[in-house]
Amino acid sequence: MLLASPFMIQAQTLPQAKRILIVYFSHSGNTREIAQQIKNATGGDLFEIQPVTPYPEDYDTVVLQAKSEINSGYKPQLKTKVEKIESYDVIFVGSPNWWNTIAPPVATFLSSCDLSGKTIAPFITHEGSRMGRSVSDMKKLCPNSTVFEGLPVRGKSVKSSQEVVVKWLREIGMAPHQVIRQLPE
């Protein structure tokens, strides 16, 4: 597909024009930053997973709450849901690594949607623990989906990770839009 304007030509290179959704939960903003980079590269739709009751701002408090929720299997209620999720082919799922797994709101999202037949591409932000068991836990929650090995991004590196994100997108067959800038006539 070729779109033209006086200043830009944009060629979509995604295989078979797959419909892409990028869903994410972000407490500190790191996962949101990676989600935005994926959106910019793929043109996919963006959806932020938000629990009805927000997590506390205080780091120590949220660490204790997350540990308790994960250990008990608690899945918080979410504010909204994705409309017409069945219309998407590829779903990028972003989460911080909390206690070696996905954040509880992400577990709620994955367990509340029928993602059968979808391709799931995880991206995980962390501060040294990489992905832990996040991908294997996503596979358990999405047994009828194809779940790719994910992209781990260290939190302190998110602002400079665009090249890493684009490389990963190419590796998993989700090459980003190619943009060619033209001078106006």
Q: What is the pLDDT of residue 176?
A: 63
Query: What integer pLDDT is reported at residue 157 of this predicted model?
Result: 94
Cα–Cα distance between 165 and 151 in angstroms, integer? Answer: 8
Residues of the chain with pLDDT under 70: 1-17, 176-185
**Which tokens go with 28?**
């500190």
Amino acid at site 65 = Q
Superfamily classification of domain 2-181: Flavodoxin domain (3.40.50.360)
What residue segments make up the domains of the chain, in order of their start? 2-181
The residue ranges of DSSP E strands in the chain, in sequence order, are: 2-4, 8-11, 20-24, 45-48, 90-98, 101-102, 119-126, 146-147, 151-154, 178-181
The string of pLDDT tens digits covering residues 15-35 is 456 899 999 999 999 999 999
Question: What angle in degrees, to the nearest 10, is found between the helix axes of 104-112 and 59-72?
Answer: 40
